[in-house]
Every structure is written in structure tokens, then in C-alpha cells.
Chains A and B, each alone.
Chain A
Amino acid sequence: DAKTTQPPSMDCAEGRAANLPCNHSTISGNEYVYWYRQIHSQGPQYIIHGLKNNETNEMASLIITEDRKSSTLILPHATLRDTAVYYCIVRAYRSGSARQLTFGSGTQLTVLP
């Protein structure tokens, strides 16, 4: 699975959009981009995933560049409860799911009041 690079930390004002970047320059054609988050002391929570088209659900939007070498997770109106570590994970769809989930160090997002 491709390696990902994320900034270690970011701040965002409450009510503003939080844009979390992820670089995955070695991504291959059959690899998906997944985002999870882990709120302090809780289990990781699935947010969204995509292959090459932009995706949106009730939690967030995922923007993947045309060359698929980077992506951005967007939380449109961040709240204090969105403070968490956000993990960007790239993995091949057919290589297995959670057993192939490699959680790196992620980005600590702090939403400020």
C-alpha cells in the first residue's frame, strides 16, 4: 500500500471549514484513499473514502487531485467535537480491509473556540 504524508498538527476556528491535506505520491491505480479519525481515548471512526472522484457524505468531503497524488479532507463547519487525530490511509481495494489498515501518525486537528 502507498505511503501517506500528513502534517502533524493543524488548528481551525470553530464554524470554519477544516481542510486536511494528505500526500500519496506513490498511489497506484487500484488504491483507494480512506480517512479515519480518532477522538482522544476512543476507537477510530471511519469518515469517508474515494478512488478518483470527489466524494461527499454527511460528515465530510474528500477532494482527490486529478493525478491522485494528493487529497484533502474537508470538514465544512468544524465544531469543538471535531478535535481529533485524522488518519489518511491508502490501500488497494482487493488486498483486504481492516487487516491492511496501516495507521500512521496522522494530523492532530484542534478546533479552537
Chain B
Amino acid sequence: NAGVTQTPKFQVLKTGQSMTLQCAQDMNHNSMYWYRQDPGMGLRLIYYSASEGTTDKGEVPNGYNVSRLNKREFSLRLESAAPSQTSVYFCASSRSENTEAFFGQGTRLTVV
């Protein structure tokens, strides 16, 4: 049982480049989320998807877009990367909006 899988684990981008972070869960969860964690800070919610076919903005959505491709997969896209988006990105899933969340191992992104 892999749980929540994120790819890639590490990425270096140049300013202005675009990329998509992939997330997949095999727990048949309905809800999925993207967080970012900056050094010395807690996790901040970027976007979430309460169920397949729906997405909503979180606390820090600017500069990002998401796609809930199907029930298993939830991707995060940076259209034009900026140094301020250097962070560790975590994907999470939960059975519903009201149950505990399970997190992936993170994607460490550096924008130079």
C-alpha cells in the first residue's frame, strides 16, 4: 500500500519555467490537498479538492493551478515559476473533508 505518492521528489527550475507536480493516492480517498512548507514555518494550504470534479483555493493559491484528473490524481502546476515559490510541497488525501489527512513525502522545489 503506497498511500500518497508525489513525483518528482526534487526539482530545480529557472525563473519563468513551468512544471507540474504530480500526486496520486491509492486509498480511494475523496478529498485531496496541496500544501507548501517554507523553512521554519507551518504548512499552508494552496488548493484542495473536496471530491472528484471540484477544486477550491486555499490560503496561498496565487501562482498555482490544479487539476483533479480523476479520483486518484491531483496535480499542481506552476505556470511561471518564481524564486518565492521555492519550498517543499506536500500533497495529502483524506477519505472525506471531515477525516484525518495522509501526506505524501514531499517535493523539494528550488527556483533559481
Contact between A105 and B96, CB atoms less than 8 A apart: no
Segment among B12-20, B62-70, B77-85, B97-105 that sits at the interface with chain A: B97-105
CA distance A101 to B103 in the complex (A): 12
User: What residues make up the interface of B, taking CB atoms closer than 8 Å to A?
Assistant: 4, 31, 33, 42-43, 45, 48, 50, 56, 58, 90, 92, 94, 96-106
A59 CB to nearest B CB, Å: 12
Contact between A101 and B101, CB atoms less than 8 A apart: yes
Contacts of A49 in B (CB 8 A): 100
Q: Is the C-beta of A94 less than 8 angstroms from some C-beta in chain B?
A: yes
Contact between A43 and B103, CB atoms less than 8 A apart: yes
Within the complex, which residue of A43, A97, A105, A106 is in contact with B100, where a contact is CB–CB below 8 Å? A97
Contact between B101 and A46, CB atoms less than 8 A apart: yes
Contacts of A44 in B (CB 8 A): 43, 90, 92, 101, 103
Nearest first, the 5 A-B pairs at minimum CB distance are A43-B103, A103-B42, A98-B101, A46-B100, A96-B97
Contacts of A43 in B (CB 8 A): 4, 90, 92, 103-106
Contacts of B98 in A (CB 8 A): 93-94, 96-97
Contact between B48 and A99, CB atoms less than 8 A apart: yes
Which chain B residue shows the least CB distance to A105?
B42
Using known A-B contacts A103-B43, A104-B42, determine if residue A97 contacts B105 with beta carbons closer than 8 Å.
Answer: no
